[in-house]
Amino acid sequence: MAMALHRLRRNKAAILGLVIAIGYVFVAIFGPSLAPYSPYDMGLDRALESPSLAHPFGFDELGRDIFSRVIYGTRISFVISVVSVGIAMIIGVTLGTLSGYFGGAIDAVAMRAVDIMMAFPEILLALAIVSALRGGAQVIGTETAIAYLIIAVGLYSIPQFIRISRASVMSVKQNEYVEAARATGEGTTGLILQYILPNALAPLIVQATLRIGTAILTAAGLSFLGLGVQPPTPEWGSMTSYGRNYLRVAPYLATFPGLAIMLVVLGFNLFGDGLRDALDPRLRLE
């Protein structure tokens, strides 16, 4: 672990990604205290005003402060990404561990299900899940929309965790210390929880970090298409979608929410790549 931390500290890109990720979490938690204005206060007299010192991101088409709306949108993005990846990790690791440890029919069924799900592009699978959950409803509440996004992003993320946990468990269970514990009479549950899973967590942690960035991007994409969180709730994808109608006269309406998505996803990808290199330097491409 000490060597992994040392390698991680030497990776400047990973440290930059970690700083961005920490900043994202900080803004998500303390957003209401950091935002200088309410994200819902409108003023048609200041609609589409350009950025200024008092309003660094300018105003949208309804005269709302874009900077405050971007900050508030961080919390929604954070909840969707973290909860969906957490659900996917719990379900995926459980199924992957059972599949990798017991093998046989359990493994065959789990892998065929994974193959079927991974045959569909992720964004199309997420679109299908959200559309099915909405059931043709044109307008839904914010909490319901967030729940649908969490379910969609979580479901399509499960196969990745199943495959990685399965491979890790199959590798770890062959180690001598696992065989020694089994020889002393350790039960199946004890073997999995005390000896196998703790030594199979490294690739799962890396995958979870990378999936957070993917979850943010997918949730924003669904909202951009009108299948996610709806206005007036501030959400990066829907803000970018509405801002595209004003690209000629006020390009900053779509630019700043889009930059927020790009920066956060880049941060988690940089940190995830650096974490992977630190935990398993054999994967590095020299």
CATH code, domain carrying 133 = 1.10.3720.10
Structural domain range at position 128: 16-31+65-281
What is d(CA 47, CA 61) in angstroms, rounded to the nearest whole number? 5
Residue 106 domain flag = yes
The pLDDT, as a whole number, for residue 182 is: 86
Nearest C-alpha neighbor of 238 from the set 254, 221, 224: 224
Strand ranges for 143-233 from DSSP E: none
Check if the beta carbon of residue 210 is closer than 8 Å to that of residue 268.
yes
Residue 148 domain flag = yes
Residue 117 domain flag = yes
Nearest C-alpha neighbor of 274 from the set 205, 197, 201: 205
Domain count, the chain: 1
Per-residue pLDDT tens digits for 204-250: 999 999 999 999 999 999 999 888 888 889 999 999 999 999 999 99
Residue 115 domain flag = yes
Residue 226 domain flag = yes
What is d(CA 236, CA 257) in angstroms, rounded to the nearest whole number? 5
Per-residue pLDDT tens digits for 112-122: 989 988 888 88
Does the predicted TM-score (pTM) go above 0.85? yes
**Cis peptide leading into 159, omega within 30 of 0?**
no
Residue 49 domain flag = no
What is d(CA 64, CA 47) in angstroms, rounded to the nearest whole number? 7
CB atoms within 10 A of CB 136: 6
Cα distances (angstroms) measured from residue 243 to each of 66, 235, 250: 11, 12, 8
* Token couple for 48: 């589409």
- Show Cβ contacts of residue 207 under 8 Å, excluding neighbours closer than 6 positions: 160, 161, 164
Residue 132 domain flag = yes
Per-residue pLDDT tens digits for 119-153: 888 888 889 999 898 876 766 888 999 999 999 99
Residue 248 domain flag = yes
The pLDDT, as a whole number, for residue 281 is: 52
CB atoms within 10 A of CB 279: 18
Check if the beta carbon of residue 236 is closer than 8 Å to that of residue 255.
no
